[in-house]
Amino acid sequence: MPLIYLDNAATSWPKPQPVIEAMTRALEQSASPGRSGHRMATAADELVFGCREALADLLGAPDPGSIAFTSGATEALNLAIKGILRPGDHAVISPLEHHAVLRPLKALESIGVTFTVAEGDRHGRMSPLTLQKALKAETRLVVACHASNVNGALQPIAELGALARQRDIPFLVDGAQSVGHLPINVDSLPIDLLAFPGHKGLRGPQGTGALYIRPGLELEPLQQGGTGSESESPYQPRFAPDRYESGTPNTPGLAGLAAAARLPREEVRERTAALREGLARIPGVEALGPGPDADQVGLVAFHLVGWDCTQACGELDRRFSIAARGGLHCAWLAHRSLGTLDRGSIRFSPGPTTTEADIAAALAAVRTLAKGRA
């Protein structure tokens, strides 16, 4: 039975051939970038800067130096949050935030940082009005995921960012589920910081990601060390991106990410809509999220009456060879906000290689499971 992969919101699969080839070439032909001056090191410099340029081009960032590489969106969010907030500072976050935002903030409570979860609508979306209510004099950061990894809802980042900018508060966007799926231009949107992984919508390798940092905004780095610059100084460089990139970069990963970022972007909206519409016709399926009339990214979340969500995903894997994710999706806060903490949810997230036949097979499998417990 061929695998039907519907877990692209966790990580994209299969990886495009140009990504695999770029990584293989990097492993075979490049050395440590930014350090030595020999030709293999220079080849690595080209790969790393090429990735910076590809990501800057994709996001509309005029200067590739505004892209700081990280191991993924989690590290990028930690860098942004811990790089800005100091004792006594306050942050506002949306009700849909992932653990990659919530847990760093919970950890910072021990040094006197506080935060407020803004009110959301029934799908968890923060509005400019609810953001306004949550702001305080000591608010130093506003955080919103662009698209929820739980129900796919999009938040109004242009309006939220505009309000934050009016108040001179940095606006951090978690682009984990949107970068690569939706066009984002950091030069025209009021975004100060954009965290994103390389391995989800961009279809690059795991272990890659980046933080866009608006030029002029300086963060405290998460760590200090060798940067391949200013070796004559005992202090961390002050300039970006070196300030944020201690240690030898993941050159093969960045080569793969560059190849991924240069690929034509393929929409998964139609596939997602077909899944959503098909699921809605199955008795026993309760869909989550704003639905087909609202902006949403490429995932569909649902409950299956009579089924534990993780057991249902186990059955989908064993009996139907369908890869999907059940549970709380590392997003306790989002599930709490949506009232789904007790049940979790099943999540289908198609990708560019998902076929109509895959969708039909997935719907048939859900129908079979639903009938078994009806």
Partner 1 sequence: MSSEVALLVVFAAMSQVKRVKRILEADGAYYEIERSPHCISTGGCSVSIRCTPLTLPLVLDAAGGLGIEPKGVHYERQQDGSLSYAPYLPG
Which of these ranges, 61-69, 71-79, 277-285, 340-348, lies near partner 1 under the rule CB under 8 A?
A: 61-69
Asked whether position 215 contacts partner 1 by CB under 8 A, the answer is yes
Residues in the chain: 374
Tally of CA atoms within 13 A in the half-sphere of 57 that contains its CB: 13
Smallest gap, in angstroms, from Cβ of residue 242 to partner 1? Answer: 5
Pairing, β 193-197 against β 209-213:
antiparallel
Which residue in the list 51, 145, 313, 330 is annotated as catalytic?
330
The footprint of partner 1 on residues 173-192 (CB under 8 A) is none
154-157 contacts, C-beta under 8 A, 24 or more apart: 154/125, 154/178, 154/182, 154/294, 154/295, 154/296, 154/297, 155/94, 155/96, 155/125, 155/126, 156/125, 156/127, 156/128, 157/189, 157/191
Smaller CB separation from partner 1, 33 or 284: 33
104 binds partner 1 (CB under 8 A): no
- Which residues touch 334 (CB under 8 Å, ≥6 apart)? 95, 96, 97, 98, 124, 148, 149, 150, 151
Stretch of residues binding partner 1 (CB under 8 A), selected from 2-10, 179-187, 229-237, 334-342: 229-237
Is residue 232 at the binding interface for partner 1, with CB under 8 A as the rule? yes
Cα separation, 372 vs 149, whole angstroms: 28
The amino acid that residue 238 corresponds to is R
**Residue 110: DSSP 8-state:** G
Q: Is position 214 an interface residue for partner 1 (rule: CB under 8 A)?
A: no
Regarding 34 and contact with partner 1 (CB under 8 A), the answer is yes
Residue from 33, 152, 284, 350 that binds partner 1 (CB under 8 A)? 33
For residue 25, the minimal CB distance to partner 1 (Å) is 20
Q: What track of x and - describes contact with partner 1 for positions 63 through 102 (by CB under 8 A)?
A: xxx-------------------------------------
Q: Is 235 near partner 1 (CB under 8 A)?
A: no
C-alpha 191/C-alpha 244 separation (Å) is: 19
Kindly tell me which of 67 and 304 has the beta carbon lying closer to partner 1.
67
Q: Is 221 one of the binding residues for partner 1 (CB under 8 A)?
A: no
- Of the ranges 46-54, 129-137, 148-156, 360-368, which one interacts with partner 1 (CB under 8 A)? 46-54
Span near partner 1 by CB under 8 A; candidates 49-57, 157-165, 175-183, 264-272: 49-57
Nearer to partner 1, 32 or 114 (CB): 32
Least distance from C-beta 256 to partner 1, angstroms?
A: 19
Q: How many CB atoms lie within 10 A of CB 172?
A: 28
Q: What 8-state DSSP symbol labels residue 90?
A: E
Cβ(346)–Cβ(6) under 8 Å? Answer: no
From 47-55, 186-194, 258-266, 361-369, span contacting partner 1 (CB under 8 A) = 47-55
> 138 or 218: whose CB is closer to partner 1?
218
Count Cβ neighbours within 10 Å for each residue of 253-290 and write b for 16 or more, e otherwise: bbbbbbbbbbbeeeebeebbebbbebbeebebbebbbb
The number of beta carbons lying within 10 Å of the beta carbon of residue 319 is 12
Nearer to partner 1, 57 or 270 (CB): 57
Q: How far is the CB of 44 from partner 1 (least distance, A)?
A: 10
Question: Which of residues 76 and 304 has its CB atom nearest to partner 1 in the complex?
Answer: 76
Residues with Cβ within 8 Å of 329's Cβ and at least 6 positions away in sequence, in order, are 98, 149, 150, 335, 344, 345, 347
Amino acid at 204: G
List, in sequence order, every residue forming a beta bridge with 171; answer none if it has no partner: 142
Verify whether residue 330 is a known catalytic residue. yes
**Bridge partner list, 194:** 173, 212
Smallest gap from residue 313 Cβ to partner 1 (A)? 43
Which positions are annotated as active-site residues? 330
Residues that bind partner 1 (CB under 8 A): 33-35, 37, 45, 49, 52-53, 63-65, 215-216, 227-233, 237, 239, 241-242
